[in-house]
A = this chain, B = another copy of it.
Amino acid sequence: MLDDRKLAVLRAIVEDYVSTHEPVGSKALVDRHNLGVSPATIRNDMAVLEEQGYIAQPHTSAGRVPTDKGYRLFVDRLSTIKPLSVAERRAIETFLANTYDLDDVVSRTVRLLAQLTRQVAVVQYPSLTRSSVRHVELVPIASERLLLVVITNTGRVEQRAIETHHPVSDEAIAHLRALLNARLDGCWLTDVPDALADLPEQVSVDERALATTVLSVLLESLVEKHEEKIIIGGAANLARADLSQSLRDVLEALEEQVVLMRLLGEAGDPSSLTVRIGTENPHEGLRTTSVVATGYGAGDQAVARLGVLGPTRMDYPGTMGAVRAVARYVGQILAGS
């Protein structure tokens, strides 16, 4: 169907279009890539590529532009992930050196990704559901108000206020805290409900109301409420990449957590690179953007995802290389914790 030369032409079109941002014509192609044939031959090939839907003309007398389908073929078969330059590697190292806590790691990562790719970076906090409990703390902050703090092995700290509706003694709190820690230490978050199912029966009648309240809040906040936190950075890069579509739609999409979640995580093996191009995207406002994402985490197990978003006309090999490299580094850092 598509012989080698036609594929080479498609690759050349994608590369040229990405670098010039202008529709590329047959003459420009033979000039810039030594294809060894004449423009007329290229035109024939282009006609075939267009017929098959890999490229398109914005208008009759213009050059060709890759379609989403064209980019897809390019990413799948015509390109190889570009390794980072020495300078880029060094940038990663200096950026991520000396991180103090999880917030630090995540916020630096998002800045780093945005800077390396010159696009919008999206980083998800390590998921709660794939972590285990390191410590539970219960602190009185008012006579009828407690603060529940859960610390996970990924270094994430989850907090939640609890209204007791009646005064609670410090002893009761201490007792419950000890009990919770004894039961939950090292416990996989998804196993928390089972581990605590019989908690109210284990405590004295006096403390039962408290235990029930705390338990419900704990379960609600950790297990049922999958509030996966996501942060973005480099939104200013959007302004540079004049998207044909209204930039506003994209900005709006980026403000919705739900959309971001689906962008990063919808499908795919957590540890391999996912590329979603243009209309392959689940969201209306992101028809002219592509997302390159991957999982990251301590060791083999991916605990969350990160990636970048940019115009469909992006440097896929370079972006993929940067995303993969950053994910690996961050994984190492987390593993070191």
Interface residues of A (CB under 8 A from B): 100-103, 134-135, 137, 139, 141-142, 145, 147, 149, 151, 153, 155, 157, 159-161, 221, 233-236, 238-240, 246-248, 251-252, 254-255, 337
Contact = CB atoms under 8 A, between A and B. Distances in A.
B238 A251 contact: yes
Given A236-B255, A239-B248, A251-B236, A134 B139 contact: yes
Copies of this chain present: 2
A264 to B, nearest CB: 19
- The dominant DSSP class at the A interface is mixed
A251 B114 CA distance: 13
Given A134-B139, A141-B155, A234-B255, A100 B161 contact: yes
A103 B247 contact: no
A161 B251 contact: no
A323 B4 CA distance: 63
A155 B103 CA distance: 17
8 nearest A-B residue pairs (beta carbon): A239-B248, A236-B251, A236-B252, A135-B139, A101-B161, A157-B159, A137-B137, A239-B247
Nearest to A252: B236
Given A145-B337, A147-B155, A251 B239 contact: yes
Given A102-B159, A155-B161, A235-B235, 9 more contacts: A100-B161, A100-B221, A134-B141, A135-B139, A141-B153, A141-B337, A147-B155, A157-B157, A236-B252
Nearest to A246: B239
B233 A255 contact: yes
Nearest to A233: B255
A161 B236 CA distance: 31
The interface centre, meaning the residue of A134, A235, A246, A252 with most chain B CB atoms within 10 A of its CB, is A235
The interface centre, meaning the residue of A103, A151, A159 with most chain B CB atoms within 10 A of its CB, is A159
Contacts of A247: 239, 247
A88 B82 CA distance: 52
A135 B135 CA distance: 15
A234 B157 CA distance: 27
The interface centre, meaning the residue of A101, A103, A234, A248 with most chain B CB atoms within 10 A of its CB, is A101
Contacts of A238: 251
29 contacts: A100-B160, A101-B147, A101-B159, A102-B159, A135-B139, A137-B137, A137-B149, A139-B151, A141-B153, A141-B155, A141-B337, A142-B337, A147-B151, A149-B149, A151-B159, A155-B159, A155-B161, A157-B157, A157-B159, A161-B337, A233-B255, A235-B251, A236-B248, A236-B251, A236-B252, A236-B254, A239-B247, A239-B251, A247-B247
